[in-house]
Every structure is written in C-alpha cells, then in structure tokens.
Amino acid sequence: MFAYDSVILARMLTSMTLVFHIIFATIGVGVPLLISAAEYVGIRKRDPSYILLARRWTRGFVIIVAVGVVTGTAIGLQLFLLWPTFMQIAGHVISLPLFMETFAFFFEAIFLGAYIYTWDRFKGRYTHWYLSLPVIIGGGLSAVFITSVNAFMNTPQGFTLEGRTITSVEPLTAILNPATPSKVFHVLTSSYMTCGAILAALTAFFILKYGNNKYYKKALKLTMIVTLVFSIFTAIAGDTSAKFLATYQPEKLAAAEWHFETEKGADLILFGKLTEDNEIKGAIHLPKLLSFLSFGDFNSEVIGLDRVDADLIPPLWIHYMFDLMVTLGAYSIMISMLFLVFMFWKKRDQYNKWLLRAIVVNAPFAMLALEFGWIYAEVGRQPWIMRGYLRVAEGAVSSPYVHYAFAMFLVLYVLLGTFVTLILVRLYKKNPIKKEWEQRFPDTLFGGDQR
Amino acid sequence: VSYEVLGLSALWFFLFAYLIIASIDFGAGFFAYYAKQTKKDHILNRLIARYLSPVWEITNVFFIFFYYGLAGFFPDAGYYYGSAMLIPGSIILVLIGIRGSFYAFENYGSRSSLLYTFLYGASGLLIPAAISTGLTISEGGFLREEGGSIHLRYTELLTNPFSWAVVFLAIVSVLYISANFLTYYANKAGDEPARKILRSYALFWSAPQIIASLTAFIAISRQNPEHYNNMLDLWWMFGLSVLFFLGAVYFIYKERNYGLSFICVMLQFFFALLGYGIGHMPYILYDQIQVTADATLPAMGTALLFAFGGGLLMLIPSLILVMRMFLFDAEYVKGKK
C-alpha cells in the first residue's frame, strides 16, 4: 500500500526535478557554442560587437549554469533516494557512464571558471577563446554520457540478469546500445537549436523594446543562422529516432501515433482527439507516411498496438506530446528560414515587428518542444524503468515520507525559478548594452563603426 | 589487489577530497556572513570571493563522484543508503540547491544582500551536518528492515549522543579547515588585515576541533565497540593525526609557514579519516554490508578503474592549469588581474 503511493510520488518528484533541470541543462550544453562562435567571429573580424555579445551572454549563462549544477546534483542523488532497487540492479551497469558524465562535467566546470575570469588577461588574440572549446566539449560529452544512460533504460543490453542479480556485464555494449546514437544526436541538435532560439528571442525582444541598431542586427543574424541550421538537424535527428523506434521500441511509436493495428502502408496521424472507446476524431491522416517515417518505404509493415501485451501499452496521451513537439519544431524551422530569406531577398524587411514577435515566442516554444519531447520519450516507455527487465513499480522506494521530499523540492524549485528570473531581468536591465558599450569603447560609435 | 580494495580506495579518496575542498568552501560561506554581521566584510569578502568564484562548481563534483562510485563498486550499499537517506538526502540536496544558486545570484547577479549571504553561510554549516548522518548510519543500529525494504529509525538517530557528536565534529572541522586555508590564502595575497582576522578564526576553532574529534572517537566506543577496538589497534594513525594538528596550530600561532600549516591540517584529516576507514573494515554498513560480499563485477570494476584513471589524466593537468591561473598566480591572488 505504501509502496504504491510512494511509486506515484517518486515518479512525480523525479519528473518535477527533470522538467526543471532540463531547462538549465539544455542551456548549459548549448549556449557555450554560441558564446564561443560570437567570440570567434569577433576576433576574426576584429569587431568588438561580437566580443561584447559573448561577454554579455556569458554573464547570464553563469547564473543559469549554477542552477543547472544544483538541480543536476539533485537528480543524481535522487536516483538512489527514489529508485534504490533500480540502482541496486542497474548500478552494476550504468555507473560507468554516470561516472564519465561527471568527469565531463568536471572538465567543463574547470574551464568555465577559467573562461569567465580570464577576459583581457592574455596577450594572444585567440588564447582566451581557446578556453571556450573545452567548455563546449565538456558540455557536449556530459550530454552524450547521460543520454546513453537513458538510452540504456530504453534498450538495455550488455548484461545477464539472473533473478534480481546481474551476473555479468559488458560495459561498452551497454553504453553503445541501439538507442544511444539517435538519442544523442537528437539531444545535442535540439539543445543547440533551443539555445539559438533563446538568444535570438532575447535580441528580437530588445529590438522591439529599445529600437534596432548594428549590434542587435549582428546578434540576430548570428543566432538565427544557428537556429536554422540546428532546427534542420533536429528534424533529421527526429526522423532517425522514429526509424529507431519502429525497429526497437515499436510500442512507443505505435502509442504516439495511435497505430492500433499492424499494417502495411500505415497512415501518419496528426492532431485529433481520442474518444473513450479509442476512436480517433478530427485527425489529419497522411496516407502511408508512418511507414515511410518508420522504414523509409511507403509500403513497409508497421507494428501496431495489437501486437503489444495489454498491460505493456504506454499511455496513449503521449500522442499529444509527440504532435506538440513536432509542430513546435516545425515552427522553429519556418521562422528562422523566413528571417534568412528576408535577409537575402532585400524586398522584405527581416526586422518587421511581426517577424520579431514570432522570433520572441520561438524561444518558449523551443523549450516547450524539448519538454514535450522528453515527456513523450519517458512516458512512452511506461510501464518499464528498464524496458523488458524491470517495471517502474518494482524499482521505486517504499517510504511513507516521499511526500515530504516532494514538498521540499517543490518549494525549492519555485524559489529558484523565481529568483533566477528576477536576477536575470535585473542583470540586463541594470546594465543596458548602450551603457556598457560607452564605458568599454569610449572612442567608438555604438555598434562598431570607427568614429 | 582486488577490485573491492581499489574501489574502496577510490571512494575513500573522493570522501577525503570532498572533506577538504568542501570544508574550505562551506566555511568561507560562514565567515563571509559572519564578517558581514561584524562589519568586517570590506576586509574579508573580496578575498573570499576571489578564491571561490572560479572553483565553487568543482566542489559538488567530488560529492557526485562519491555516490556514483558507491553505485558502481557497491550497488548493494547504494540500495541501503538510498532507501535510508531519503529525507536526510533530500535535505542535503535542498541545502546544496539554496547554497549554490544564492552564491551565484550574489556574485554574478551583482547584488549583495544580507539575506543571500545568510542563506549561503547557514546552509554551508547545515550541509556537513546533514551529510554526516551518512557516516553515523554506517555504524549500524539505525536501520530497520520491514516488508523487504529499508527504513531509517529517525527517533533513534535524533536522540543518540553519537549522532550529535558527529554533527558537532563536522561543523567544527569545516570552520577549522576553512579558516586555516583562508589564512594561508590571505597571506599569499599579502592582505595583512584579512590574514589577521582569519588567523584568529583558525586559532579559535582549533580547540573545539580537537575536543570534537576526541568526543566522537569516544562516542564510537559506545555505538560500535568493534569499530572502536579496530581503531585502537591503529592508534599510531590517530597519534600522527594529533601530531599534525599540533604542528598546524604551532605554525599558525607563530605566524609563519602558513602553507606548511595547511599541509599539516590536510595530513591531520588524512590520517584520522584513514584510521577511521580502515577500522571500519570489512563493513561498509555495519552488520549489513560487507566489502567482500557486495563487490562489483570484474568487467565493470576494470572499466570503472580505466574511466577513473582516464578521467584523472584529463583532470589533473586541467586542475593544475586552473590553480596556476587563480590559486598560485600571485598577481591574481593580489587582485591585480
């Protein structure tokens, strides 16, 4: 009885921590790439605008990373506190990638500290910029390793289980499980895309608020290019993931697509609503596209939910998550493409108010898409915690005190969320770009022209 | 040498590294708050911030290494501690959450408020107190197995003199280690006023530190006689620890060799923790988890050690680089860069 309640609470607490952590973790992985790109362009072109851009992004970035570090520590320890049985069994296997993730993060943390505190300290033009590379690599690698842990939970392999005891392990086989490549690809591309979208949105917001100038133009161009490139890569990664699912986790794809019967030439279902007797209403059917999405062949056979045991079918509401993720991702491609088309096709103004507003909302959209995507991926493997081996209910803690822990973390996250927002707003309000520019480059016109 | 011993050594190393690094950090937080209260912050806080800012993220990593190491080398221990520590562990995490974020808010958000400093300082003393519950539990007698799962006996834990002795020791040690390090750092920075204050802190906390150590030592004899007897067999390690303690106090008192003094502090804790750890063998958790019975599988043991070695090969040069940039760069320490 305890155990049952604590399972639900443990799931809720884990979800809450992850939903909160993802925001900060994504920024932690993606933003260094943009900071580094801006500094590089600045050094190449000898244009202080870009370097100032990198500096200003870094300032906000540090605060976000701080919250990412503490929520990351939280989820790491919560694995033990909330899922002790899972850790007892899987700990034999996943401790290696967890360990490596920590090393990668350590590497990132060391060089982030070095990067932040050594502006203007070196003689060589590029020396300081080099310090940003280990930050990007460390952030990227920690995403790779932690994603491989999640991939392992989806397609576990590389061990032998006898009863409740793991009797042999092949660590590399476990890390390089079938889910790892597509997941890593999707996680990295979507992080870079989201960070591009966030920084573009910030710039667009400032243009709308304070009027345009050369500095903002450069920032918007850089961030929109990154957004477009990585939106496209994210879409490709999504396609790779769908092909992976069709082969290795057909029940997840079938649940997301409300694909009840195994058939050849299966339709892709967009939007719609499911009635209580599993009837689909108001959906758009794209003929044979699910087969194409799954195997690259319009007439291939896609496994439906009829081939899945009734008690192993994931919740069908993940369809909405899937749709939202894809739609929001498509929005990002569209908007960034539009901006760049306008930029090259001089007849249209790429800084028109409506496009800028559309760019502003793209940031929350991209972050939401990320959250929806993760919810889809995680709920889509219910009821398993380790697919095929261990169910969620068997892995959870049985303690009558989980609700206390839940309440504590809820308060913590609300507090942190509020404070981090206030601090960031204050940081950029108190220190507007124009003021900083005039302090730093008193002889240069704002935006980078020599006086 | 077997994987268990190597694994244990790795875990022990992480614990020791965390003890030293986190203590400096936690104590500095408290001193920053105390200095603000006593209106000495203009002397101390710039120095403290200058040391902490580039390294604070690193501290957490050793804690994470410790619990991931436990999962890898001793998954059963992970199970027992995980189940038992739900509430203490959550408290630790909430405190780490408050501390880390408010530090960043204060330092990078360019706003200095008494509330942030208070939260930062207070959490720095509560975290070691909460973490020390883990060590207390390891002496046995605090867990109850029921219906196939593990529960912590909270009343037992909160009313036991031994657990309070450990909490007291944890807090006092943090302040002592931190004050010693910061004295050394202030001296290096040539910051005479800060060095004076910090030296007085270091001297002040040395007496409670040694008293707390002895109290905890004696308290173990009641809680776990077997462990106590094992430790008595290793009396020379604790003797060395006391000697290094005296050395550290001597140098601080004589106002010279601050670097050597801090090395003495590290050796003091090195031997105390080593004696404590070896005496703890072969149990990780008394009566429930033995080192030999619950070790990792050979393939994973090898992989973990490789990862550990590879990780260190990458980290040590990077750490040296950072230390040369911030800790041992006289110009930076003095605030000229």
Residue with tokens 């199970």: B79
A165: helix, coil or strand? strand
A444: helix, coil or strand? strand
Residue with tokens 């209910």: A393
Question: CA A274, CA A281: separation in Å to the nearest integer?
Answer: 6
Residue A274 φ then ψ, to 5°: -105, 125
Helix H or strand E segment including B224: none
Contact A91 B322 (CB under 8 A): no
Give the DSSP letter string of A231-287. HHHHHHHHHHHHHHHHHH-HHHHHHHTT--S-EESPPEEES-EE-TTS-EESPEEET
Token pair for A446: 């704002």
Decide: A194 and A346 in contact? Cβ < 8 Å: no
Q: Which is nearest to B294 in space by CA: B71, B62, B129, B9?
A: B71
pLDDT at residue A3 greater than cutoff 60: no
pLDDT at residue A1 greater than cutoff 50: no
Token pair for B301: 């043991």
Decide: B335 and B189 in contact? Cβ < 8 Å: yes
Question: CA B105, CA B82: separation in Å to the nearest integer?
Answer: 31
> What is the mean pLDDT of the segment spanning A405-410?
91
Mean pLDDT comparison of A66-80, A126-140, A187-201, A412-426, highest-scoring range: A187-201
The residue in chain B having the minimum alpha-carbon distance to the alpha carbon of residue A13 is B90
Residue with tokens 């030999």: B292
Decide: B166 and B157 in contact? Cβ < 8 Å: no
Confidence of residue A447 (pLDDT cuts 50, 70, 90): low
Q: What is the DSSP letter of B234?
A: T
Q: Which pLDDT tens digits describe chain B residue by residue (337 residues)?
A: 577 777 788 888 888 888 888 888 888 888 888 888 887 777 777 777 766 666 677 788 888 888 888 888 888 888 888 888 888 889 999 998 888 888 777 776 655 677 778 888 888 889 988 888 888 888 877 777 777 777 777 887 788 888 888 888 888 888 889 888 888 888 887 778 778 888 888 888 888 888 888 888 888 888 888 888 888 888 888 888 889 888 888 888 887 888 888 888 899 889 888 888 888 877 777 777 777 655 567 777 788 888 888 877 877 787 788 777 776 666 666 666 5
Q: Which of A74, A83, A117 sits opposite B326 (nearest CB)?
A: A117
Q: Which of B60, B73, B297 sits opposite A73 (nearest CB)?
A: B60
Q: To probe the interface with A, which of B13, B81, B94 has the most A CB atoms within 10 Å? A: B94
The residue in chain B having the minimum alpha-carbon distance to the alpha carbon of residue A404 is B87
Token pair for A51: 């370097």
Token pair for A316: 């069908």
Contact B307 A100 (CB under 8 A): yes
Residue B114 burial (C-beta neighbours within 10 Å; 0-12, 13-18, 19+): exposed
Rg value, chain B, Cα: 20
Cα separations in angstroms, B126 against A8, A192, B119: 30, 38, 10
> What is the mean pLDDT of the segment spanning A71-86?
89
Decide: A72 and A145 in contact? Cβ < 8 Å: no
Q: Which of B101, B311, B314 sits opposite A70 (nearest CB)?
A: B101
Q: Which is nearest to B191 in space by CA: B16, B39, B48?
A: B48
Instruction: Please give, rounded to a whole number of angstroms, the shortest distance from the CA of A129 to a CA of chain B.
Output: 16
Contact B307 A96 (CB under 8 A): yes
| Contact list, B65 vs chain A (CB under 8 Å) | 99, 102
Q: Which is nearest to A238 in space by CA: A429, A377, A130?
A: A377
Mean pLDDT comparison of A99-113, A340-354, B50-64, B133-147, highest-scoring range: A99-113
Task: Label residues A414-451 b or e (16+ Cβ within 10 Å = b).
Answer: eebeebbeebbeebeeeeebeeebeeeeeeeeebbeee
Question: CA B101, CA A66: separation in Å to the nearest integer?
Answer: 6
Residue A346 burial (C-beta neighbours within 10 Å; 0-12, 13-18, 19+): exposed
Residue with tokens 């966030």: A198
Least confident of A362-376, A381-395, B40-54: B40-54
Confidence of residue A386 (pLDDT cuts 50, 70, 90): confident
Helical packing angle, B41-52 and B3-37, nearest 10°: 150
Q: Which of B67, B308, B326 sits opposite A80 (nearest CB)?
A: B67
Residue range A167-220, pLDDT digits in tens: 788 888 888 888 899 999 999 999 999 999 999 999 999 888 887 788 888 889
Residue range A240-251, pLDDT digits in tens: 888 888 888 888
| Contact list, A171 vs chain B (CB under 8 Å) | 299-300, 303
Residue B320 φ then ψ, to 5°: -60, -40
Contact B68 A110 (CB under 8 A): no
Contact A70 B319 (CB under 8 A): no
| Contact list, A92 vs chain B (CB under 8 Å) | 72, 75, 296-297, 300
| Contact list, B314 vs chain A (CB under 8 Å) | 103, 107
Amino acid at B38: T
For residue A429, the model assigns a pLDDT of: 80
Question: CA B112, CA B244: separation in Å to the nearest integer?
Answer: 38
Q: Which of B92, B108, B319 sits opposite A110 (nearest CB)?
A: B319
Long-range contacts of A49-56, Cβ-Cβ distance < 8 Å, separation of 24 or more = A49/A214, A49/A215, A49/A218, A49/A219, A49/A447, A49/A448, A50/A218, A50/A222, A52/A215, A52/A433, A52/A436, A52/A437, A52/A440, A53/A215, A53/A218, A53/A219, A53/A222, A55/A119, A56/A428, A56/A433, A56/A436
Pairs of residues, one from chain A and one from chain B, whose beta carbons lie less than 8 Å apart = 229
The pLDDT mean for chain A works out to 86
Helix H or strand E segment including B287: none
Question: CA B289, CA B291: separation in Å to the nearest integer?
Answer: 7
Q: Counting runs of H as helices and runs of E as strands, what totals does chain B give?
A: 14, 4
Q: To probe the interface with B, which of A5, A14, A64, A103 has the most B CB atoms within 10 Å? A: A103
Confidence of residue A411 (pLDDT cuts 50, 70, 90): very high
Q: Which is nearest to B35 in space by CA: B114, B125, B123?
A: B114
| Contact list, A91 vs chain B (CB under 8 Å) | 71-72, 75, 78
The residue in chain B having the minimum alpha-carbon distance to the alpha carbon of residue A84 is B79
Helix H or strand E segment including A422: helix A402-430
Question: CA B54, CA A114: separation in Å to the nearest integer?
Answer: 7
Q: Which runs of E-coded beta strand occur in B112-210?
A: 143-146, 149-152
Instruction: Please give, rounded to a whole number of angstroms, the shortest distance from the CA of A281 to a CA of chain B.
Output: 45
Q: Which runs of E-coded beta strand occur in chain B?
A: 143-146, 149-152, 283-285, 289-290
| Contact list, B147 vs chain A (CB under 8 Å) | 398
Q: Which is nearest to A338 in space by CA: A191, A200, A192?
A: A200
pLDDT at residue A80 greater than cutoff 60: yes
Question: CA B58, CA A65: separation in Å to the nearest integer?
Answer: 13
Neighbours of B148 (CB within 10 A): 8
| Contact list, B61 vs chain A (CB under 8 Å) | 102, 105-106, 109
pLDDT at residue A2 greater than cutoff 60: no
Q: Which of A81, A93, A105 sits opposite B82 (nearest CB)?
A: A81
| Contact list, B94 vs chain A (CB under 8 Å) | 408-409, 412
| Contact list, B98 vs chain A (CB under 8 Å) | 412, 415
The residue in chain A having the minimum alpha-carbon distance to the alpha carbon of residue B311 is A103
Amino acid at B49: A
Where helices occur in A180-213 by DSSP H, the ranges are 180-210
Question: CA B15, CA B62: separation in Å to the nearest integer?
Answer: 7
Amino acid at A248: Y
Helix H or strand E segment including A160: strand A159-162
Mean pLDDT comparison of A113-122, A165-174, A222-231, B142-151, highest-scoring range: A222-231
Residue A270 φ then ψ, to 5°: -110, 140
Give the DSSP letter string of A373-395. HHHHHHHTTTTEEETTTEEHHHH
pLDDT at residue A134 greater than cutoff 50: yes
**Residues pairing with A352 in the sheet:** none
Decide: B335 and B194 in contact? Cβ < 8 Å: no
Q: Which is nearest to A377 in space by CA: A225, A103, A190?
A: A190
Q: Which of B54, B60, B97 sits opposite A412 (nearest CB)?
A: B97
Residue A286 φ then ψ, to 5°: -105, 105
Residues 6+ apart with CB under 8 A from B67: A76, A77, A80, B78
Sign of CA dihedral A269, A275, A276, A279: negative
